[in-house]
């Protein structure tokens, strides 16, 4: 079990970095060199990792891609939502994101980028701290309150800006309010100069996953009446997606 856990840690570490040398992997994960050699050889032999001949750095192998293609847990939702998200990005001029919750992190499963040159840099598969993002708080609001509190209290929540809320009790008040009013905001809590409005989209009991939808924008483009001014088109898009999913 210990070797299996370490092998998974190596794959995740390489995936996050893109490419790592043997020494980088050992240093980042604190592995004994003898164990790391054996694990890397096994992962390379089974196709999970590839070692570049010139740089000697490890990258993800074809096996990772093959396995990823078989996972369709949120594919139907993402494919259904994408045209509606594209339309919302055009009408608001801002980036629209769809995410699901994994622990206390939101994982982005679809993104429609703002047509403006100044926009938040985000990619599908990116993971961000749920407590510091509007979409993350919207996702937490879909959980049973006891489960949401357990997750927020189980880890140290980093303070990313002066506005980041890290106290679990205060976060639970925000999550509860989100469930009541139907939307959550990020007012420069994840990164300075960036705001977000988000709505819960689906719960696990409906689709098997909890998902949320958001509009993200730089503070200098914040429209009058924010966040309510963005909530209306965002909520309408969410209802379109739900209807298209038959929910």
Instruction: Give the residue from 199, 56, 186, 202 showing the smallest Cα distance to 129.
Output: 186
| pLDDT category of residue 15 using cuts at 50, 70 and 90 | confident
What percent of the chain is predicted at pLDDT more than 70?
93
Q: How far apart (Å, rounded) are the C-alpha atoms in residues 210 and 143?
A: 8
Query: What does 201-214 look like in DSSP terms, one character per residue?
Result: EE-HHHHSS-EEEE
Using the Cα atoms of residue 116, residue 120, residue 121 and residue 123 in order, give the sign of their dihedral.
Answer: negative
pLDDT of residue 233: 95
Which of 4-8, 158-162, 167-171 bottoms out in mean pLDDT, i.e. has the lowest? 4-8
pTM for the full model? 0.73
Q: Evaluate if residue 244 carries a pLDDT over 70.
A: yes
Q: For residue 93, what pLDDT band results from cuts at 50, 70 and 90?
A: very high
Average pLDDT over residues 97-103: 93
The tens digit of pLDDT for each residue in 109-130 reads 999 998 887 666 678 888 899 9
How many C-beta neighbours within 10 Å does residue 174 have?
A: 15
Q: In what order do the strands lie in the sheet with 194-202?
A: 127-129, 105-112, 95-102, 211-218, 194-202, 184-187
Instruction: Report the pLDDT averaged over residues 87-111.
Output: 94
């Amino acid at each position: 079990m210990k070797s299996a856990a370490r092998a998974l840690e190596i794959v995740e570490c390489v995936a996050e970095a893109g490419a790592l040398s043997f020494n980088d992997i050992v240093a980042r994960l604190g592995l004994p060199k003898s164990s790391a050699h054996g694990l890397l050889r096994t992962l390379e032999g089974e196709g999970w990792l590839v070692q570049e001949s010139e740089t000697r750095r490890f990258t993800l192998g074809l096996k990772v891609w093959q396995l990823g293609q078989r996972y369709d847990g949120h594919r139907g939702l993402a494919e259904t939502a994408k045209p509606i998200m594209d339309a919302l990005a055009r009408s608001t001029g801002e980036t629209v994101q769809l995410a699901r919750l994994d622990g206390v992190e939101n994982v982005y499963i679809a993104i429609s980028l703002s047509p403006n040159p100044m926009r938040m840099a985000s990619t599908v598969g990116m993971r961000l701290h749920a407590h510091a993002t509007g979409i993350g708080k919207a996702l937490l609001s879909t959980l049973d309150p006891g489960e949401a509190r357990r997750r927020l209290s189980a880890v140290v929540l980093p303070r990313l800006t002066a506005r980041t809320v890290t106290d679990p009790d205060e976060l639970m008040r925000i999550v509860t309010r989100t469930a009541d009013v139907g939307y959550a905001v990020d007012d420069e809590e994840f990164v300075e100069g960036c705001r977000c409005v988000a709505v819960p989209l689906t719960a696990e009991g409906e689709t098997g996953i909890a998902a949320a939808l958001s509009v993200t924008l730089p503070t200098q483009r914040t429209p009058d009446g924010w966040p309510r001014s963005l909530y209306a088109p965002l909520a309408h898009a969410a209802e379109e997606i739900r209807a298209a999913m038959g929910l």
